[in-house]
Amino acid sequence: MLGANLRQLSSNAVSISALCRDLGINRTQYNRYLAGESFPRPDVLHRICSYFGVDARILLEPVEQIHSPQAGLFEHPEVADFVGHSADTLSEEHFPSGFYRFVRRSFLHDDQFVQGLTYAYRKDGHTFLRGFEAKQAMAEQGLPTAPAQREFRAVVMPQEDGVALLVSRRGAATATFNYMARVPSFENNFWVGYATRTVREDVAGRRVERQVMEHLGRNTHKVLAAARSVGFCSTDQLLPYLRQMLKSGVPFT
């Protein structure tokens, strides 16, 4: 059973050699596991299970019947090859870690823009974002303004020509879906796209707005400057290059 399960789990690997390098297992020894001629030591089995997101039941049960309690929604076998299959392939070159300044027009106010700061990081082979909603924006919606309620997180997934962000606050019943594509610039550090709210058509405000993300990396001077500008601002208060990218005054189509 172990050999059959490992053959199935290994089928999506670029090559067995590359997989063995990632696992830190000798290629000859791994072939013995695949053939059912040998069983891994407990520490090696743990390494294999952690890598594939399964547990030690792969010794006894078909992998299709195993769902590791540590596996997330995107890793569930019902959708793993459809929704989350490429979520762990987002490279630093494609979407680098570090701080980002983001700007978009307010969903509720035509003459105001929202500026924020978010942090991109990698964990367990996936890419995430973390940040905090502006206090003023939360207060205007009658929502709590404590940091725990303002914190948002996002999962970042690669798209054919950019990235998709699924963003939500802790315990919230709503989310935003963002699509961002890199645009040519001097430092190659800008993404332009849009943010959408998951609300009904008859809810006040707009459901989609253009958005710009600027990668600041870990440059302390730039990050602190961006942090001081978090919140609402008018068109005139936007940095000129951000105003140009947001096409202020041009309706989103």
What is the widest separation between alpha-carbon atoms in the chain?
A: 71
Q: How far is Cα 63 from Cα 29, in angstroms, rounded to an integer?
A: 21
> Environment class of residue 8 by beta-carbon count within 10 Å: exposed (0-12), middle (13-18) or buried (19+)?
middle
194-231 confidence digits (pLDDT tens): 999 888 888 888 889 999 999 999 999 999 999 999 99
Please, where in the chain does CATH 2.40.128 lie? 98-246
The one-letter code for the residue type at 187 is E
106-134 mean pLDDT: 89
Q: How far is Cα 126 from Cα 115, in angstroms, rounded to an integer?
A: 26
Report residue 241 CA to chain centroid gap.
26
CATH T-level fold of 2-85: 434 Repressor (Amino-terminal Domain) (1.10.260)
Alpha-helix residue ranges (DSSP H) falling in the chain: 2-9, 16-23, 27-35, 42-52, 135-140, 147-150, 220-228, 240-246
Please, where in the chain does CATH 1.10.260.40 lie? 2-85
Name the class of domain 98-246.
mainly beta
Whether 163 and 180 have beta carbons less than 8 Å apart is answered as yes
57-74 confidence digits (pLDDT tens): 888 888 777 655 555 666
Q: What is the pLDDT of residue 67?
A: 55
* Cut 0.85: pTM above it: no
